[in-house]
A = this chain, B = another copy of it.
Amino acid sequence: MPTIYSEPQALRNAVRQGEFSQPTAGHAPGFLQANLMIVPQAEAFDFLLFCQRNPKPCPLIEVLSPGALEPLCAPGANIATDIPGYRVYRDGALADERTGVASLWRDDFVAFLIGCSFSFESAVAEEGIALRHVVQGRNVAMYRTNIACVPAGRFSGDMVVSMRPIKSRDVARVVEISGRFPIAHGAPVHIGNPAALGIADIARPDYGDAVAIENDEVPVFWACGVTPQWAAQKSRLSVCITHAPGKMFVTDVRG
C-alpha cells in the first residue's frame, strides 16, 4: 500500500529526497496543485502576456521572479527539485524527462505555476457526481482543438481541452460547480459536440487515456493546462521545462 501524503510539505520533501516520483493526484487533498512552465526571461513577457490573454487554459497561480526557485505559494519549496517529474523541451522537441532540473537551472529562468483541474474535480466529487477517469484511476482524456488561442508575441496555438463524460442530468450542476474555480480552468468551454471543436475521433485522445461515453452521458470539455506546453512546442522555444503529465507541483494554498 503506497503512502498517501496529506501535507504538501511532506510530499515535496519526499520528492526532493528521491522517495516519491509518482503522479500527485489524490495526495495533499484540499491543496492547490499546479502545472509548471519554465521559460527563459527573454520569452517571459510574451508568455506572461499569452497567459493574460488566455486565462481559461492558463490561469496563473504564481509567476516567480527571474532566477527565483522558492514560490510564495509554498515557502521552503524548490521549484527545481520538488516536482516528481520534469520534461525538458529543446527547439520545440521533447529532449529529456527527469526527476529534477537543479543541474540545468539558469539565473534567467522564469517559472510559471498554472492552475490544474484537480480543485474543481474534488468539488464535483463532493457533490456526489463521479468522474469516470478518477474512478478508474486513469489520466483524463485530452484533445487538441480548432479553438485558436489569442496569440502573444511568439506564442500561439490552438487550445487543448480535457473531456469528462457527464450524465445529462448533471451537466448544468457541473458547469456551476466548475465555474466557481477560475484558477482551475473554470466553467467548460464546450458541451456536447466534439466535431465542432475539430476532434475527429473522441476515442483517440491526443494526450491521456481514452474513456467511454455512455448513452446517457454528454462529453463536456474544459480548457486544459497542456495548452501552454503545446503553444511552447509550436513556437519552438530554444528551451523550456514543464512538469511531467500528472506529476504536479503541490502548493500550500488551500483551494
Contact = CB atoms under 8 A, between A and B. Distances in A.
Interface string A54-74: 000000100101000000100
Contacts of A49: 48, 63, 65
Contact of A48 (B45, B65, B72, B150): B45
Question: Copies per complex?
Answer: 2
A48 B41 contact: no
A153 interface: yes
Chain A contact residues (Cβ within 8 angstroms of B): what range? 10 to 19
Nearest to A151: B65
A53 B65 CA distance: 11
Contact of A52 (B41, B53, B63): B63
A72 B152 CA distance: 13
A49 B63 CA distance: 7
Nearest to A112: B52
Contacts of A41: 45
B45 A52 contact: no
A44 B41 CA distance: 12
Interface string A97-110: 00000000000000
Interface of A: 41, 44-45, 48-49, 52-53, 60, 63, 65, 72, 150, 152-153
Given A44-B45, A49-B63, A52-B60, 9 more contacts: A41-B45, A48-B48, A48-B52, A49-B65, A52-B63, A53-B63, A65-B152, A65-B153, A72-B150
